[in-house]
Amino acid sequence: MSQVSGLRPKLIATDLDGTIVNHDGRISERTVKAFTKARDLGVEVFFVTGRPPRWMPEIREAFGFGSAICGNGAMLYDLMGDKVLEEWLIDLPEQLETVKRLRLAIPEVSFAVESHSYFHREKAYIPRWDVGLDNIGVHTIEEVLQSPALKMLARCSQQNFSSDEMLDIALRELDGLVTVTHSNPHDSLLEISALGVSKGATLARMAQRLGITADECVTFGDNPNDFSMLEWAGRSYAMSSGHPDGAKYAKSVAGACEEDGVAIAIEALLDLPSL
């Protein structure tokens, strides 16, 4: 990590999994202390994640403060009050067209769809994290597409393609229709949001509401769904343990998640003067 300079940030935004949440689900004491010190110094803290609200209780319990952006930018979530504040959803026609186009481009693909209150999947879609939420499934996702959705998921359960390979295809086939990304290069899974919705776009909207500029923000992330906010912020850190393309979008590189890379960077940033 390079030497930091300038002023203390006014807003810190971080991804969760693979960035401050280790692969075993642990959040280190050093990480909690770094974010707590930032909060105590008046820094705005945002947890910006692809997770839905149902996966946020452990974050609430670990930190006890902070704002949250869920669903890769599709939702502003009151972390402490467990309440959805705003949503930017995929309309039904776009969902149907997305399924149609991806089935043609990737015949092996299967789908799931989620909002803050439901998760539905095709029988061919084998979930890794939402096991138990929909144990029945449907033959085709079109059977349950009835309303705007927080996020669509597209998976090759036989792992015929990597997430990067799927993303290359989807970016071409879904251009101008929806926003597509992924959060795990070792899986075969795409995450799809409404057109124009991303972590970076929603974070920029929240910062503007607070009267904070991009130059006054610092962001941390490890995968393509983080690249938009790494690119937007005046200071940003890709995780050395993350996707190899992260450094193309971030201004700096932080140490690995398992080595408290984010906490180390924040500790240095908080030593900077505020004025």
Give me 16's structure tokens. 């969760």
Which residues face 8 on adjacent strands?
A: none
Amino acid type, 263: A
pLDDT at 186: 82
pLDDT at 131: 66
Strand order, beta sheet including 119-121: 119-121, 110-114, 151-155, 189-194, 178-181
Q: How far apart are CA 189 and CA 200, in angstroms?
A: 21
pLDDT at 105: 97
CATH class, 11-88+198-270 region:
alpha beta
Amino acid type, 274: S
Which residues face 273 on adjacent strands?
A: none
Fold of 92-194: 3.30.1240
56-97 pLDDT, tens per residue?
999 999 999 999 999 999 999 999 999 999 999 999 999 999
Q: How far apart are CA 231 and CA 98, in angstroms?
A: 26
pLDDT at 2: 58
pLDDT at 1: 52
Q: What is the pLDDT along the chain (275 residues), one digit of tens a residue?
A: 557 889 999 999 999 999 999 989 999 999 999 999 999 999 999 999 999 999 999 999 999 999 999 999 999 999 999 999 999 999 999 999 999 999 999 999 999 999 877 899 999 998 877 767 888 899 999 999 999 999 999 999 887 899 999 999 999 999 999 999 999 888 899 999 999 999 999 999 999 999 999 999 999 999 999 999 999 999 999 999 999 999 999 999 999 999 999 999 999 999 999 98
DSSP secondary-structure letter at 139? Answer: S
DSSP secondary-structure letter at 149? Answer: B
Q: Within 10 Å of residue 96's Cβ, how many Cβ atoms? A: 13
Show me where the domains of the chain are located. Answer: 11-88+198-270, 92-194
